[in-house]
Structure 1
Amino acid sequence: MNKFKVMALLGALSMAGCGGGGSTAPAAPATPKSATISGSIAGLSANSTLLLVNSNAETIAVKATTSFKFANPVAAGTPYSVTLFANPNGNDCKVANGAGTVAQDGGDISNVAVTCQPAAIGLLKYNVGVTVSGLAAGGSVSFADAQGNILKASANGLSVFAQSYSPLAVPGANYNVTVSFNPTGQTCTLANNAGTNDTTPSFTNFINVTATCK
């Protein structure tokens, strides 16, 4: 074997030992598909707040608008269900196209439609919610109203007391929300947590208390 053939053979063996330069990096894992849930609102009274719930996992409050959008995306292949937490005072609202399952490709859902009309009987009822921010992952905080009802929040965002209140009833005219249990290692401070909701034109069907946890 001459010198040139030996050198060529050694070069080929060297390239083979290094993988021949043909290796490729492993493919990055695919990003999980998800979809946002949104829709339209028609006929809602200008001074009314609409409370919408998605699959008992997220609640939003919308006012003086013709559209809505939930902040938390829904994973592909997962069901969603948009419902009313309660009818706003003086309104009778219905939800169309509110339930389904997110496609595997994660396409956004935007055809949910909420239609409101004046209620036959305009009962003076209102709800009280707490919008939490700063809550550490895995933590929870509990709130109490003036009647001793408890609301527990395990995530940031809006949570609403299950009970509705009436300014025509003595216990319902005044609202007063307090922190009954702080998260472990944190303290939550409330704002807009006490006041009077009476039958004057300033009546509102939703009181939004804020809780900042640190």
Structure 2
Amino acid sequence: MKRLTLRSSVALACALSLAACGGNDGNLQLAGAVYGVTKTGLVLINKNNGEKLPVEPGQSIFAFTKLLSNDENFEVDIFSSPDNAVCSVANGKGATGSFSINSVVVNCIINTHALGGTVSGLDTNGLVLVNGADKIEVKAGATSFSLTKVAEGSPYGVTILTQPASRTCRIVDGVGTVGKTDITNIQVICS
């Protein structure tokens, strides 16, 4: 009986000392995939334990450093987004069960902005403008044009693919990099 009491006391003392030293930390990872991060500023947070995790541009996977225990709840959310994108989380909330979680998905969609401007002197059809693979025909009498929206931070170069019949057109301010606002100052001048 004395031995059983002694063994029980030793076992209790060991358990308490391990708990005091952090010996009951989990061994399950909270991780996932990340898409579309091109600038710094994305920080994830596990709302259940408060851990914040910065995600660098070009990074495709992430893993929180604090390990979770069996049946521990987690809730991954966006703490801050890069200033050029809107980010969202899928599969970010649940409980671990007895396995690591690797199914969280963070997707960042880069902001896009309009690309266009004014047209003057165009009185015949046939003017075709391009920006990369995007192509539009500008009709006679048009005073403005719009191409497909372009991602923030991306370069653009609007050029003339086809001149209209009996006219010569030129482009002013057709090359640059998309900033935080729409590009509306490109001029197409025909004479």
TM-score, normalised via structure 1 length: 0.39
- The normalised TM-score by structure 2 is 0.44
Q: Which has the higher strand share?
A: 2
| Larger-Rg structure | 2
